Amino acid sequence: MFFTYLRRELRRRRKAALVVASGLALGIALVIVVNSVSSGMGKAQDKVLQSLYGLGTDMTVTKAAAAPSANSSERPRFNFDAQDSDSDEEQSSDRVLVQGFQTLATSTVTKVGDQKGVADAVGGLSLQVIKVSGQFTRGQFQQNDDGGGRQGGPGGGGTGQPQGEVQGGGANFDVNNYSVFGTDVTEPALGPLTSSEITSGRTFKTSETDAKVVVVDSAYAKEKKYKVGSTITIKGTKYKTIGIATASSGDAAANLYIPLKQAQTLGDAKNKVTTIYVKATDSQQIDTVKSTIQKNISGTTVTTSADLADTVSGSLSTASSLATNVGKWLSIAVLVAAFLVAGLLTSSAVSRRVREFGTLKALGWRSGRVTRQVVGEAMVNGLLGGALGIALGLAGAYVVTAISPTLQAQLGGGGGGAGGPGGGFGGPGRQAAARTLDVALTAPVSATTVAIAVALAVAGGLIAGAFGGWRASRLRPADALRRVE
């Protein structure tokens, strides 16, 4: 009887039911789209940050670079051997510099790893290599064509030397500036190399702690025409290319990756690192771990992903702010309006059905049964609105994902970035932190979002039913029968 009466009443009042369901659908669809876009913003930001610090890294520990002294010279010097001027042999000279930060002792890595809340810690050394290569060309002496050959000689003035000038000659040198990162091959799960995927060859083996092998970033490999098996010479040491790595997003952490010990040898930084990558035991306790490290290891700077996220600007940050703030409050306003409209329309419908409910009560229906009937109708309207809202919300999220609008993310670089001078979080002194990255926006819909939509649909039905049920429960048969519609 309940469902028969329910079906008949909904069919008889299709327009009113459609208005209630449409209002709820609009609010629920907006909630789904806003939540999905916000989730997409979070994924986009994570993608940007991951390109800097790699997977699994929760924070980095560095030491700010010291201010240059008045007597120190920042200009690297290059020395070339004096060779036979007739030789066309190319000369080259490498200068390897520690990049970005002051170095920390490798013992600091162990000390950081022993702090409470730290699951793992690994060190890395960032280097900048300036390579100058080229050759000198001897000039050619051109004798003056004056018909006399030599001037001076016995009885005449002059020096007795050929007269002429040197033409041509000079030097042709090329400067190649690239970055090298020394990675701890025994800890492959941490460090900036984890933000790249090996697309050719292989990565380091844990046994290659001091091997002369190198993994090359794909963009740099394409520029220099390197491939797996190529030999790369750094400061006179030859390294064999074992893999090509492609950055997941943005720029790679370095052009070349070599074992940490080899980097320490090249940079004359034995037992030194520039960056310590830290993984926390609990992602919810990162701030606590940060405070512990800063307290127990003086002179260091601890930077978390949240610190770097605060420096993200550009359209990604603007869109994220809009989705989080404006979108959230707009969704709440629309939902409140939809719930109120649904409740008022249901209450109004009950007012127009006074004779009907009075008759039912006269026939023996109790107030509770009348109330359940009204609430049942409102619940069906709410569920219909929820189904329609979920469909509209999924369609809106699909459209956003299909269009994939491109957002720009600029990480605050310069001297005072979150990761210290010259680099971002975990970015071993990288200048990439000051570059603009393009990220495609998606709007993934999670099961949680759909569950929220269903809950809102049920809540809308209950609120509308509560309005109407309260009104219906107050009707008395005698009063109802006296009223005329």
- Look at residue 234 and tell me whether its pLDDT is greater than 60: yes
Q: Which residue has the tokens 């989730």?
A: 39
**Looking at the predicted structure, is the pLDDT value of residue 417 above 50?**
no
Q: pLDDT at position 96, please?
A: 84
Residue that is written with structure tokens 């310590």 in the block: 276
Q: Is the pLDDT of residue 478 over 60?
A: yes
Q: Which of 176-190, 354-368, 414-428 has the lowest mean pLDDT?
A: 414-428
Q: Which residue has the higher pLDDT, 96 or 435?
A: 96
Q: What is the DSSP letter of 64?
A: B
- pLDDT for 477 equals 61
Structure confidence by residue, pLDDT tens digits, 182-191:
999 998 888 8
* Higher-confidence position of 355 and 52: 355
Reported as a pLDDT band with limits 50, 70 and 90, residue 259 is very high
> Mean pLDDT highest for which of 118-132, 204-218, 241-255, 308-322?
204-218
pLDDT grade, residue 32 (50/70/90)?
Answer: confident
Q: Which residue has the higher pLDDT, 2 or 446?
A: 446
Pick 115 or 342 by higher pLDDT: 115
CA separation, residue 58 to residues 430, 435, 476 (Å): 18, 22, 67
pLDDT reported for residue 181: 93
**DSSP string for residues in 110-125:** HHHHTSTTEEEEEEEE
> What is residue 122's predicted lDDT score, i.e. its pLDDT?
92
The DSSP code for 322 is I
What single DSSP character describes residue 10?
Answer: H
For residues 217 and 247, what is the distance between their CA atoms, to the nearest angstrom?
Answer: 7
Q: How far apart are CA 444 and CA 87, in angstroms?
A: 65
Type and span of the H or E element at 449:
helix 447-473
Residue 422: predicted pLDDT: 35
pLDDT exceeds 80 at position 26: yes
How many whole angstroms separate alpha carbon 386 and alpha carbon 348? 22
Q: Would you place residue 72 in the very low, low, confident or very high pLDDT band (cuts 50, 70, 90)?
A: very low
**Structure tokens given for 361:** 């009560």
Question: Is 6 a residue whose pLDDT tops 80?
Answer: no
Of the spans 22-31, 58-67, 86-95, which averages the highest pLDDT?
22-31
So what's the pLDDT on residue 308?
Answer: 65
Q: Is 420 exposed, middle or buried (0-12, 13-18, 19+ CB in 10 A)?
A: buried
Please state, in angstroms and rounded to a whole number, the distance separating the CA atoms of residues 306 and 280. 14
**C-alpha dist (Å) from residue 77 to 103, 131, 155, 268, 347:** 22, 11, 52, 16, 87
Stated pTM of the model: 0.56
- Cβ-proximal residues to 353 (8 Å cutoff; 6+ apart), any chain: none
| Confidence tier at 226 by pLDDT (50, 70, 90) | very high
Helix axes 354-362, 367-403, angle to 10 degrees: 140
E strand spans, 33-111: 59-62, 91-98, 104-105
Neighbours of 342 (CB within 10 A): 27
Residue type, 252: A
The Cα 185–Cα 257 span in angstroms is: 10
Contacts of 37 (CB under 8 A, 6+ apart): 319, 323, 327, 397, 400, 441, 443
Q: Say yes or no to pLDDT of 61 above 50.
A: yes
Per-residue pLDDT at 412 exceeds 80: no
Rounded to the nearest integer, the mean pLDDT of the chain is 75
Mean pLDDT (whole number) for 61-75: 61
In sign, the C-alpha dihedral spanning 82, 88, 89, 92 is positive
The dihedral sign for the CA sequence 260, 263, 265, 271: negative
**Beta bridge partners of residue 172, listed in sequence order:** 135
Would residue 158 be called left, alpha or beta, if left means φ above 0 and alpha means ψ between -120 and 50 degrees?
left
* Top-confidence range, 41-50, 106-115, 336-345, 401-410: 106-115
Question: Is the pLDDT reported for residue 329 higher than 70?
Answer: yes
Range with top average pLDDT, 59-63, 230-234, 338-342, 473-477: 230-234
pLDDT-derived band at 428, boundaries 50, 70, 90: very low
Q: Which whole number is the average pLDDT over 208-228?
A: 92
Nearest to 463 by CA among 368, 377, 331, 339: 339
- Per DSSP, the chain holds a count of helices (H) and strands (E) of 13, 18
Closest to 121 in 3D by CA, of 328, 277, 286, 331:
277
The helix (run of H) or strand (run of E) holding residue 11 is: helix 2-12
Q: Does the pLDDT value for residue 125 go beyond 50? A: yes
The pLDDT of residue 76 is: 59
* 16, 28, 382, 383 from 458: Cα distances, Å: 18, 11, 6, 6
User: Is-contact 190 210, C-beta < 8 A?
Assistant: no
Of 410, 442, 425, nearest to 195 by C-alpha is 425
Query: What average pLDDT does range 281-304 have in this prediction?
Result: 86
Given this model, what pLDDT does residue 98 score? 85
What CA–CA distance (Å, rounded) separates 478 from 354? 11
